[in-house]
Amino acid sequence: MAEIPTIKLPSGYNVPILGQGTWYMGDDARKRSAEADALKLGIDLGMSLIDTAEMYAGGGAEEVVAQAIKGQRDKVFVVSKVLPSNASRKGTITACEQSLHRLQTAFIDLYLLHWRGGYALEETVAAFETLMESGKIRSWGVSNFDVDDMEELEAIAGGTAVSVNQILFNLKRRGPEVGLMPWCQSRNIPIMAYSPIEQGRLLSHPALTGIARELETTAAVVALAWVLNQDGVIAIPKSSNPDHIRSNRRAADITLTPAQLETLDQAFKRPNRKQPLDML
């Protein structure tokens, strides 16, 4: 098994293009140990980027991550997010400190604004800069930002330090390919794709199942491999199932042929014009 390819963030950190999500983890205390074990398996397989957020299970997902990374913090790139309702200058700092406590770590590698809210971006960016200076975060980014949001961010003081934009992107949600992704690619800002297999809802499509048969793999692996095939994209599938985690890992080793890519392109057509950014 080859190492997972990496991508360099504008902040200088190299991260694997395939990581792990934690949305819906931490909700059930009885499942937390199994969820932490799943994340540990992913880390062992090279999926050392773990994405979480204060919103997920009211902080419970961050506590699961803490359990998973205990004793191996130096191997892991931790991403977390501040809720827009907390994203004032003071509120962002407080929220980050609370996340650090739940994560049981001294710093967060990448800290994101979860989506646009009522606070001015200047406030949030100023808080991110303060957190950087104090060593509590090592880089910052945004999530669910469309082109107009990114342009507004770019125009404010410190805004060009953004390291990633995390968005909904998969075969069914190809809207970002028109407008947003080219905008980010021109500035070397990676896209982090959440729900890269649409939470499993597209996996019965005959185009995916047909290619899966050709490759002797699963439709989920094919869908994930397609996302990983896009330039400047990091994918963060979530799973607590060890078999699914091993399957996800295989997607990083698959190179889809031009014919297979064309089949998927025809089955899941890219829009002809810019569309509003989808969110889940």
Active site residues: 56
Kindly report the length of the chain. 280
Q: Report CA 104 to chain centroid distance, whole Å.
A: 21
Measured between alpha carbons, how far is 234 from 100 in angstroms, rounded to an integer? 24
Report, in this order, helix, strand and coil percent for the chain, each rounded to 5.
Answer: 45, 15, 40
Sheet containing 140-143: order of strands? 49-51, 77-82, 110-113, 140-143, 165-168, 191-194, 233-235
**In which element (H, E) is residue 223 found?**
helix 219-228
Residue type, 154: E
CA distance 40 to 67: 9
Q: At 101, which helix (H) or strand (E)?
A: helix 89-103
Amino acid at 133: E
With vertex at residue 159, the alpha carbon angle to CA 145 and CA 66, rounded to the nearest 5 degrees, is 70
Distances (CA, A) of 201 to 61, 169, 204, 220, 229: 23, 13, 8, 10, 20
Q: How far is CA 143 from CA 116, 150, 165, 192, 231, in A?
A: 8, 10, 5, 9, 18
78 token code pair: 């931790």
Tokens found for residue 139: 């880089």
